[in-house]
Chain A
């Protein structure tokens, strides 16, 4: 069964450093998402991406964040200058369509900012 994959599974970085989290969505899916879950809190939407552009973003997704689909398979989340509060589990998801289509999630990348 096709699945969403994410790399790395864990990342430790120093505050102020740039990190890139990578995702390979399911191949025939058209919509891509990033969510995050701070330890002990609920899963929060960050951004959705369709047709090579951001379709929706949350208040969390400020200028420090960017997303890109550099080729036909990868979908990346970049944090330019990490802060302590960026420490969280980051989930990538993909779906065939919008508005209730099932979103399939990857296993997540646990980011720790020191």
Chain B
């Protein structure tokens, strides 16, 4: 079945530590790939997206993501986490050839320890 999976529901990291949030997808053709962040009381903000080309994508706020076709993954990374990064992170896809709707993963809640 077509799906987007974020295996980690909740992650806690220490401020200054590195971060990796996992995202796997299951689609026949590689979909368009996105990471959104939702801070408390806020809407969804796009961090980065991948359509094609270079598999390492740079985004806002110091985030990057790497597309790995062999693993059907699009993991989000940040070398050094700040307390303000505490939020919920959503991986999402737009399947190719299926209109423009976003299909979201379950989300990963990130907590940052001082």
Contact = CB atoms under 8 A, between A and B. Distances in A.
Interface of A: 4, 31, 33, 35, 41-45, 48, 55-56, 58, 91, 93, 95, 97-108
A33 B101 contact: yes
A99 B102 CA distance: 9
Contact of B43 (A55, A101, A108): A108
B105 A98 contact: no
A100 B43 contact: no
14 contacts: A33-B102, A43-B44, A44-B104, A45-B101, A45-B102, A45-B103, A48-B99, A48-B101, A91-B44, A93-B44, A100-B32, A100-B51, A105-B44, A106-B43
Contact of A35 (B42, B102, B107): B102
B111 interface: no
Interface residues of B, number: 24
Which DSSP category, helix, strand, loop or mixed, fits chain B's interface?
strand
Nearest to A99: B100
A21 to B, nearest CB: 14
A42 B51 contact: no
B100 A95 contact: yes
B14 interface: no
B94 A99 contact: yes
A43 B44 CA distance: 10
B46 interface: yes
Nearest to B90: A43
Nearest to B32: A100
Contacts of A48: 99-101
A46 to B, nearest CB: 9
B46 A56 contact: no
A31 B99 CA distance: 11
B72 interface: no
A56 B43 contact: no
B45 interface: yes
A107 B106 contact: no
